[in-house]
Amino acid sequence: MSQTRQASYGLPAGVGAIAVGSFEMTSATRFDWHRHPMHQLAWAASGVLAVSVGASTWVLPPPRALWIPAGIVHAVEASRPATMRSVYVRKRGCEIGWTEPTVVAATPLVRELLGLLAGAGASKRARGHAERLLLELLQPLATTPVALDMPGDPRARRVAEALLADPADARTLAQLGRIAGASGRTLARLFLAETGAPFGQWRTHLRMRAALEHLAAGTPVAVVAERVGYAGASAFVAAFRRQLGVAPGAYFAGC
C-alpha cells in the first residue's frame, strides 16, 4: 500500500531567490496533493518521479525536470526508490513566465548547478551567479502528459483499481463487470460519464502511463509491451505513437 505524506516545504531564511531540498523516496512513496507559494522545479537526481496535476501526469527520469508554477496543486510519487531534488524559486523577480507545468531538460550543467545550490559551501556571490545561470538554462521540451481521470462511482472505481494494479489485464468490460457487480453496458456508461473518455481509450491511457514509468527506468520496449498488455513490441510502439506522437525510443531523447 502506498505511503502518503503531505509535503510542506518552505524557503529557508537567509537564502537568495532559490533554495534546494532533497527528499529520499522509497518505493510507492507519495507526496499528496499540495501547492507552494513559490515556483518549484521538481527533478529526480536518481530514480523516476511521476508528477500529477489534475488528471495529467508527467513521468520524469533524471534527464528531465518539471517546472511547476506557484499555486499549482500537484502530487508527486515514485513507484521505485528515488531521490527527489526540489528547487524553490520566489515569484518576485523571477523572469520565467510559464503559467502551466513545463518539462525542461536537466542537462549536465543544470545538474551541476543544482548540486552547487544544494550545498552549503558556496559564497553568497557564487550562489547568486548560479541561481541566475540556472534559470537562464531552463529550456522547455515538447512532452505530452498522460491524462487519467479516475471514476468516482464505486463499481467503475473497482474496475479502474484492478487495471491499475495490472495494466496487462486483458479482460473485457463485461468480464470485469463480475468484480464490480455491474453489467458491461453500465460500466461503459459510467466510464464515459465520469472520466470523459470511452473505456477503451481510458484503458489505453492507463497503459501508456504505466509504460512511461517502465521506459523511464530503462526497461526494454519488448518487456514493457508485455507488462502493459500488448501482444508484441510493434503493436505497443504503434499505440504509443498514436497517443504521444513519437515512438517510445524518441520520447526521452534530446535531453
Single pTM value for the model: 0.79
List, for the chain, all residue ranges whose pLDDT scores fall below the cut of 50.
Answer: 1-15, 255
Residue that terminates a domain, selected from 137, 165, 194: 137
CATH value at residue 160: 1.10.10.60
Q: pLDDT digits over 98-111, tens only?
A: 999 999 999 999 99
> Domain for residue 142, yes or no?
no
> Domain for residue 112, yes or no?
yes
> Domain for residue 143, yes or no?
no
> Domain for residue 240, yes or no?
yes
Q: What's the structural domain count of the chain? A: 2
Q: What is the dihedral of CA 14, 20, 21, 26, to 10 degrees?
A: 180
Distance, in Å, from the CA atom of 126 to the CA atom of 220, rounded to the nearest integer, reads 42
3-state secondary structure of 5: strand
Distance, in Å, from the CA atom of 252 to the CA atom of 44, rounded to the nearest integer, reads 14
Find the domain containing 172 and state its range: 150-251
Residues 129 and 155 in one domain: no
Residues 120 and 40 in one domain: yes
Q: pLDDT digits over 209-240, tens only?
A: 999 989 988 899 999 999 999 999 999 999 99
Residues 126 and 19 in one domain: yes
- Give 230's DSSP letter: -
62, 61, 42: which is closest to 52 by C-alpha?
42
Residues 173 and 194 in one domain: yes
